[in-house]
Amino acid sequence: MVFQEQDINFDRIDWRQFEELCFDLLMKYQYHDMIWLQGSADAGRDIEALVTVVNPLLGTYVEKWFFECKFYTSGVPMVELVSKIAWAEANKVKHFVLMTNTHPTKDAWDFLKLKQQIVNFNIHVIDGKLIKSKLLAFPDIIVKYFSDDTVVWVKNLVKQWVFQDALPDIKTLSKLREVVEPSKLGKEDLVFILFAFQQSDYDEDLLPYDIEPFNFEFIWTEVSKHANTSYPIDLIEDFGSDEDWGRIISMSKGNEQLDKFVYVAQSHHDDDKQNVQILLKSYARQITVKIANGNDTMNNL
């Protein structure tokens, strides 16, 4: 899944979730021995962490960092920072970092710049704009805090299949069809939906009275945008040399001893004569997806 900054909306979370988000982000950057004080009397910081620095001349040493997380609807005022800087100085930290979903006010900026000239530690500011840019490298954090309910729902369905070998029933798939927006999903989620629908016992003539006929054919267009391998997808590794895409609509193969399952399918778009091929593999509780776009004439070139 590819996110943009506009997908990160701080209005969806509260101050406590923002602190937790900061904690998760810091873990991605190799901070360790982290302490999250979670709103208690924090003595000048919300998060305390250590960083191990490897210097080719001096060797390895550890630095103490204080992080203050401020969740505001407007700029962070100076009054919120005075005692925090004093605590950082008293604790002899090497770095003090203000992390905020917005930005410091002008007075706060002036105060921090003045204190930087006096104190013997470094002062840093990570404002909302910078936090968003950093979060783009970690889509799992974005999903955790900012994805809409449908995206989270689909990802939970994928997890249920990977870890419990459980696929959604017709009623669940019908509800999903009503709300899903393909552009918000990653390639793994899109391919999983196609797989789950094909594996279901869907029969238009046997649908319950409260479920209208449905399908997920519209998803193929979005799937094609995530092509990540050459056409046609090689089937030899997973199915043997005797399999040919020319006679495949969908096909699957499992190995319980190896905890391995492979599914392939293809769709044909009449408008541009292009096939879209997908391969979904579950192995050791991890899933991989291959997607290829092309047509039969490519094989004759």
Which range among 183-192, 194-203, 277-286, 291-300 shows the weakest confidence by mean pLDDT? 291-300
116-148: pLDDT as tens digits: 999 999 999 999 999 999 999 998 899 889 988
**pLDDT of amino acid 6:** 83
For residue 38, give the nearest of 22, 52, 50 by alpha carbon.
22
For residue 68, give the nearest of 92, 49, 52 by alpha carbon.
49
239-295: pLDDT as tens digits: 876 667 877 888 888 877 667 899 999 986 555 568 999 999 999 888 999 999 998
**pLDDT of amino acid 100:** 98
**pLDDT of amino acid 246:** 76
Domain 5-143 sits in CATH 3.30.413.10: no
Model confidence at 298: pLDDT above 80? no
Which residue's entry shows tokens 């701080």?
Answer: 10
Model confidence at 1: pLDDT above 70? no
CATH 3.40.1350.10 domain extents, the chain: 5-143
Model confidence at 299: pLDDT above 60? no
**pLDDT of amino acid 258:** 66
- Rounded distance between C-alpha atoms, residue 279 and residue 183, angstroms: 20
Confidence tier at 200 by pLDDT (50, 70, 90): very high
- Rounded distance between C-alpha atoms, residue 185 and residue 3, angstroms: 10
**pLDDT of amino acid 134:** 97
> Distance from first CA to last CA of the chain, Å, rounded?
33
Locate 64 and state its tokens.
């103490």
